[in-house]
Amino acid sequence: MREHQTMNPHPDIVRDFERVSPELLRRAAAFQPAILADVAGRRGALHGRIEALRHRMKLVGSALTVEVRPGDNLMIHAAIALAQPGDVLVIDGKGDRSAALMGTIMMNACRQVGIAGVVIDGAVRDSVEIDEMDFPVFSVGTNPNGPTKLASGRIGHPVSVGGVAVRAGDLVIGDADGVVVIEREKIDTLLRAAQKKVEDEAARIEAIRQGHTAASWLDAALRKAGVLEEGETLV
């Protein structure tokens, strides 16, 4: 196969970038996105308008970023052709819902090349067929209108999706609660913090089951907020 060459120092398509290792993806998949968002400082969660097409859908993978014009999916087709197994297409569709950017034909192509799922700040269609495929898709909704294939865009560049900056190669993880993006360089550290948080929460739940329902920090927080006076307790 002939290697692609370009003389453009600022190409619209970035083909080569570092992805999350399979080992880190395996470890990340053990956690809920909510846990990872908490240990990341409550950052990285996409706006709630981007949600799973069906609540059972989950995904985890490396972001392959795509920027398109509203209603046009030309660059998404290009991204599918360039994707590697384990990639998640993260598409900045400008939040447009006037036309679907993807449907069952493109989702089947995604699955065939090993794409782990799709996160799109835009609309999709053929939702019943995608449901039957059980292929994870997170979008702002559906629309039966089809897209055009006329406008340029970018692949592999930083994008803004659901109010979050996403770079190619970042970790993307989603479930019924929504989608969280973690910078690739921070994943290992945050996974260790996530494990501790899971253990702490399990201990707290066990304490609640033993009858200790009041949070140990509640009185101090109420005093700091000015609800309780110094030395006063809630109960």
Residue 193 lies in a domain: no
Please check the confidence at residue 204 and state whether its pLDDT lies above 50: yes
**What DSSP letter does each residue of 79-132 carry, written as one string?**
HHHH--TTEEEEEEEEEEEEEEEE-HHHHHHHHHHT--EEEEEEEE--HHHHHH
Higher pLDDT, 10 or 52: 52
The tokens of 139 are what? 């979008």
Cα–Cα distance for residue pair 64/234, rounded to 1 Å: 50
Residue 210 lies in a domain: no
Cα–Cα distance for residue pair 36/30, rounded to 1 Å: 10
- For the segment 204-228, the average pLDDT, to the nearest whole number, is 93
Residue 93 lies in a domain: yes
Please check the confidence at residue 131 and state whether its pLDDT lies above 70: yes
Please check the confidence at residue 8 and state whether its pLDDT lies above 90: no
- Using CA atoms, how far residue 73 sits from 67, 144, 146, in Å, is 9, 15, 9
- pLDDT more than 90, % of the chain: 92
Question: Domain of 167: which CATH number?
Answer: 3.50.30.40
Please check the confidence at residue 208 and state whether its pLDDT lies above 70: yes
- For the segment 228-233, the average pLDDT, to the nearest whole number, is 91
- For the segment 184-201, the average pLDDT, to the nearest whole number, is 96
Residue 4 lies in a domain: no
Q: What is the pLDDT of residue 221?
A: 94
> Model pTM?
0.91
Q: What is the pLDDT of residue 1?
A: 42
Q: What is the pLDDT of residue 6?
A: 56
The backbone torsions φ and ψ at residue 50, rounded to the nearest 5 degrees and listed phi first, read -95, 110
Tell me the pLDDT band of 2, cut-offs 50, 70 and 90: very low
Number of domain units in the chain:
1
Please check the confidence at residue 132 and state whether its pLDDT lies above 70: yes
Q: For 116-152, give one letter per residue: b (16+ CB within 10 A) or e.
A: bbbbbbbbbbbbeebeeeebbbbbbebbeeebeeeee
Q: What 3-state class would DSSP assign to 21?
A: coil
Mean pLDDT, rounded, of the chain: 95
Residue 192 lies in a domain: no
Please check the confidence at residue 153 and state whether its pLDDT lies above 80: yes
Domain that holds residue 170: 22-185
The residue written with tokens 């080992």 in the block is 23
Q: What is the pLDDT of residue 5?
A: 56
Cα–Cα distance for residue pair 124/53, rounded to 1 Å: 9
Cα–Cα distance for residue pair 235/225, rounded to 1 Å: 17
Residue 196 lies in a domain: no
Q: What is the pLDDT of residue 112?
A: 97
Residue 41 lies in a domain: yes
Half-sphere exposure of 39 (CA within 13 A, CB side): 23
The residue written with tokens 């809920």 in the block is 32
